[in-house]
Structure 1
Amino acid sequence: MARNLRGVIRTVARIFGDDRIGTEEIVVRIGAMFTGLVQACPKVVGREGMRLMVSVPELDSPLEMGESVAINGVCLTVISLGDTFGFDVSEETFARTSLGVLVAGDRVNWERAMRPMDRFGGHIVQGHVDQVGLVIGIEKLEGSWTFRFDVGNVGDRYLIDKGSVTIQGVSLTVVSPQSGQFDVAVIPHTFDVTTLGSLSVGSKVNVEFDVLAKHVEKLLSARG
């Protein structure tokens, strides 16, 4: 069920060990937050050096300079406005994410950062890609598709059956994780309104593991 962002602040505060932490402090600690619910799929116009240019999608309110937007799950900052939107991308980000393989005409998953009163429909997504995964299988079923991904053994500790994972900026549910591989079920709506429908076996995808799982692991490690 979709919730208000403030409705999950208490849960996040408990992860940090302080029930008194408010929305503003959580934003400071985690940074810009997304939910993994794609709002549009604009086209890549091209690259100008290290600047990624994207066509203007239909927006419910004007975009502002300096605003955070997740492009295929990567948190980027709006640098230029006009007929296209520009985002400066570091060489490292191009190299360590799937943004580096984008070409003009490719569609990307787009999500603006959350505001405190926005509906919370997915899970907490930072836009910080943990690694690039690989599509190793796609099966069309009756009423859905099953995608299988390989993220290597490094991701095992964050992959929990029925837990959350972000693929290309899309909030998805982990199914049957084992030895660095896992499945996700994709319903027709998600298949149609995101770029997941354009993936094929061998496609590289941005993967972000559940931030709460990562913080829990850190807390448990610190406590020995």
Structure 2
Amino acid sequence: MIYNFYEKMFTGLVENTWKITSLKETGGGLRMTLDPTPGMEMRTGDSISVNGVCLTVVETGSSVAFEISPETMRSTNLGELKVNNRVNLERALRLSDRLGGHIVTGHVDGIGAIIAKKKAGDYTFYTFEAPADILKYTVKKGSVAVDGISLTVNGLDSGSFSAAIIPHTLTATNIGKKGPGDRVNIEVDIIGKYIEKLLNFSQDKDTKLMGLLREEGFAK
């Protein structure tokens, strides 16, 4: 059970970017084929983070293919990809691996958009517009996954958050090719969701307990 839990977890540390060689419609979905780069082995059935979306490898060999469901196309930016675009790739975490980024599930919470990109010294500052239901889980100095990249939130306001991208990340991922207007997949830190659920559960139990105590005359 523990193995299955980690089998589909990621860290947000992109291993490589591969070029899309073909996109074919398949009954409302999409079959995406990539040109593989040596040194990143994949097997049929493997779970791979593709631009932050957990997909299953359906074919390997001279090319690697994934099938994207209609729901995934609607809820992520994968349906907007074009041939020759590069996608961020990360293989699923193994129990022996170090967790260098943060826990990423590959289940995108929503789509945001780059609204600003500014160079400052060696760093490039990106500002991302995001829905309120994503921003409520976003905290300054906390972690967020953008197109599968583990980033640290540098700034936060009512409608957006920002992050400083180091030169290595710009060249090792596809974010360096993106700018204002480009849409990105966003996944918040799942730990925040667990905390929210536990707090809501605790408050609900407390409310029911107080109601029972009042009924029995032990509380006002």
TM-score, normalised with respect to structure 1: 0.85
The CA distance in 2 between the partners of 1:159 and 1:31, in whole Å, is 26
Correspondence 1:139 to 2:118:
yes
Conserved? CA contact 1:133–1:206, under 8 Å: yes
Shift of 1:27: 4.2
Correspondence 1:37 to 2:13:
yes
The CA distance in 2 between the partners of 1:96 and 1:152, in whole Å, is 13
Q: Give the direction of change, closer, same or farther, for the CA distance of 1:130–1:154 in structure 2 (3 Å limit).
A: same
Q: Does the residue aligned with 1:111 lie in a helix, a strand or coil?
A: strand
Instruction: State the one-letter code of the partner of 2:102.
Output: H
1:5-51 CA-to-partner distances (Å, cap 9, x unmatched) read: xxxxxxxxxxxxxxxxxxx43743x7610000010010011112221
The CA distance in 1 between the partners of 2:100 and 2:72, in whole Å, is 27
The CA distance in 1 between the partners of 2:173 and 2:75, in whole Å, is 22
Match of 1:168 among 147, 155, 159: 147
Q: Does the residue aligned with 1:124 lie in a helix, a strand or coil?
A: coil
Conserved? CA contact 1:154–1:180, under 8 Å: no
Conserved? CA contact 1:150–1:182, under 8 Å: yes
1:77-109 CA-to-partner distances (Å, cap 9, x unmatched) read: 000112111111101111211111111100010
Shift of 1:124: 0.4
Instruction: State the one-letter code of the partner of 1:32.
Output: K
Give the aligned partner of residue 46 of structure 2: 67
Give the aligned partner of residue 160 of structure 2: 181
Q: Does the residue aligned with 1:200 lie in a helix, a strand or coil?
A: coil
Task: Report which of the two structures shows the higher radius of gyration computed on alpha carbons.
Answer: 2
Give the aligned partner of residue 25 of structure 1: 2
Q: Does the residue aligned with 1:108 lie in a helix, a strand or coil?
A: strand
Conserved? CA contact 2:13–2:101, under 8 Å: yes
Match of 1:220 among 189, 193, 199: 199
> Where does structure 1 lack aligned partners over 5 or more consecutive residues?
1-23
Correspondence 1:190 to 2:172:
no
Give the aligned partner of residue 46 of structure 1: 22
Query: What is the number of equivalent residue pairs in this alignment?
Result: 199
> Where does structure 2 lack aligned partners over 5 or more consecutive residues?
204-220
Q: Does the residue aligned with 1:42 lie in a helix, a strand or coil?
A: strand
Q: Does the residue aligned with 1:115 lie in a helix, a strand or coil?
A: coil
Which runs of structure 1 show a deviation greater than 6 angstroms over 4 or more consecutive aligned residues? none
Correspondence 1:56 to 2:36:
yes
TM-score, normalised with respect to structure 2: 0.87
The CA distance in 1 between the partners of 2:133 and 2:12, in whole Å, is 22
Instruction: State the one-letter code of the partner of 1:25.
Output: I
Identity of aligned residues (%): 39
What RMSD, in angstroms, separates the aligned Cα atoms of the two structures?
A: 1.4
